[in-house]
Amino acid sequence: MKVTLAQLNPTVGDIQGNLAKIEKTLSECSKDSPDLVIFPELFLVGYPPRDLLERPSFITRTEAAIEELLKISQNFGQRGIIVGAPQPSQQPTGKGLHNSALLISQGGLLFTHHKSLLPTYDVFDEPRYFEPGIEDSVVKFKDSILGISVCEDAWNDPALWPRRTYHHDPIEAMAKRGAKLIINIAASPFHRGKERLRYDIVRSHARKHRIPFVFVNQVGANDELIFDGRSICVDGSGDPIAVFPPFQEHIQTISLDKAEVPTSYEPQEEIESVYQALVLGVKDYMGKCSFKTAILGLSGGIDSAVTCCIAAEALGSENVVAVTMPGPYSSPGSVEDSKKLAVNLGIKFETVPISPVYEAYIKSLRPQLKGREVDITEENIQARIRGNILMALSNKFGHLVLSTGNKSELAVGYCTLYGDMSGGLSVISDVPKTMVYELAAYINRQSPIIPQEIINKAPTAELKENQTDQDTLPPYEMLDQVLHYYLDEQYSMEDILRLGFDPDAVSWVIRAVDRNEYKRRQGPPGLKVTSRAFGTGRRMPIAAKFES
């Protein structure tokens, strides 16, 4: 059997656009005469469609598109098409929808598999929309028997998890029913290190059941989620026959009947994968939201420098505007370093001093602030002036504002609401500070794009005399470790203290994380690149009292 894997980038809600991609792919791969052409999970509507699924008109349009696809299939002989789409459940109770894989050929719907394992962890909330399938059947197609599954259906292999999330393993059930080829269509989001985990899952199923396994993953970015693709086909021994490139569309036809030469598999180097994910995240967020140009503040620090480099790579230098906004405490070096970076990138560079605005602001507030000591209030005013300047330029010229705060700062609230948190997309909000330095090194791997002065200088907000981040925060190396254990591993304070960290520092970090939930709730969406990001995958109460 010859199968074509279509690793493509859908747009959520663009049913007709996604259908056009399917038809174009079917035509382009005709030269290879495949028996099957396989598209990712929910490809027809894009993933994740979220509450669009609750609109009856959306489901009606989806059903109409499936009818169109049935007609289109008549133009391609006996070729089978596997595609993901929501399907009405035909039951009088429940959610009324399934997350389904459809097998279409010659104008007919030959088989439907309803996803039986519906994830509820991290960014997933599929039981909000779907009913689980109750049968893991197989289907005879041409000279083979296919076990068709959808994403999470493959994620309950008892060999890989010390504690299983679900009671049954759909892949095992399909193998017992005589499947000769397992197919998994997926929309599996990226995070650092996940690629290797997916490969281990696919290989484990193939080896356990001695059945070839085809995994077709979505690529592209939708809102916070980034999909790396990295589709793969392995033989019955678990050896890879084809490994698709990450972060790009790719279509390839593979012959499963011939003795394909096994290919090698090496996971992508992690910091390279994070960089490419962020570039794709910015590119797709901008394009799918119909923005052509971006604007950001360049402070002379490493966070804004890395964000600027990502934006220039994603959008092209001609579509990025950087603004330096020196204030009463800005060093001349910060302005010069920002200018050097802008020249290196070939982006437009603007200077808008904030000192006159700041002085007018303080003068206006003098009667109300009389008798009060200068404190963080005056610092935040500077940050908010800068945010307002960027938003003004955004409104006037149609730029999208990119905010530049990192995950470490966002975690402990070292950021200003309506100031440096202003923006339409927070590019590195899931990147810990220590990883920001890794990204800078990756960006400079061939030539010094980011000036070394930016990398070497002590991090500072420059909102008061001789200020550095470490005046307020623990050293970033320690802070990021504590945040990892508290946020990613969900350790308690007692658990973290057993690891030998300073008790006062751990207590401060945890209190800061907990009391700044209200800030994070008001921030722009951020691109997810770690296993646990702020945003849709983390649902913490704001008005609450609890022990950490």
State whether 358 and 244 are in the same domain: no
| Domain count across the chain | 2
Least confident of 89-93, 388-392, 406-410, 459-463: 459-463
Examine the domain organization and report whether 325 and 222 are in the same domain: no
Cα torsion at 5, 88, 221, 419 (round to 10°)?
Answer: -170
pLDDT in tens, 190-228: 999 999 999 999 999 999 999 999 999 999 999 999 999
The CATH number for 137's domain is 3.60.110.10
72-87 pLDDT, tens digit each: 999 999 999 999 999 9
Looking at the fold, whether 225 and 305 belong to one and the same domain comes out as no
Q: Is 23 a residue whose pLDDT tops 80?
A: yes
> What is the rounded CA–CA span in Å between residue 381 and residue 385?
6
Model pTM?
A: 0.95
244 with 294, same domain: the answer is no
Residue type, 334: S
**Residue-wise pLDDT tens digits, 380-390:** 999 999 999 99
Backbone angles phi, psi at 493, to 5 degrees: -60, -40
Which domain, by its residues, includes 460?
274-473+516-521
Catalytic residue among 21, 29, 115, 528: 115
**Does residue 251 share a domain with residue 164?**
yes
**Residue 9 sits in the same domain as residue 36:** yes
266, 286, 305 — which closes off a domain? 266
Give the per-residue pLDDT at 193: 93
Q: What is the pLDDT of residue 392?
A: 98
Q: 438 an active-site residue?
A: no
Could you tell me which of 345, 219, 348 has the C-alpha nearest to residue 284?
219
pLDDT category of residue 259 using cuts at 50, 70 and 90: low
Residue 489 lies in a domain: no
Same domain as 280, residue 189: no
- The residue among 236, 266, 296 that closes a domain is 266
Residue 285 lies in a domain: yes
Tokens encoding 245: 């490139």
Do residues 156 and 76 both lie within one domain?
Answer: yes
Is residue 508 included in any domain, yes or no?
A: no
The token pair at 473 is: 């925060």
| Residue 263 pLDDT exceeds 60 | yes
Domain limit, last residue, from 207, 236, 266: 266
User: Across-strand partners of 254?
Assistant: 3
Please report which confidence band the pLDDT of residue 262 belongs to, taking 50, 70 and 90 as the band edges.
Answer: low
The string of pLDDT tens digits covering residues 280-294 is 999 999 999 999 999
Q: Are residues 13 and 101 in the same domain?
A: yes
Kindly state whether residues 21 and 103 are assigned to the same domain: yes
Task: Establish if 78 belongs to a structural domain.
Answer: yes
Query: Can you give the pLDDT at residue 157?
Result: 84
Q: Kindly state the average pLDDT of the residues 226-253.
A: 96
Is-catalytic flag, 233?
A: no
Question: Is 115 designated active site?
Answer: yes
Q: Considering the candidates 21, 126, 151, 462, report the single residue annotated as catalytic.
A: 151
Query: 334 and 353, same structural domain?
Result: yes
Point out the catalytic residue in the list 29, 41, 309, 340. 41
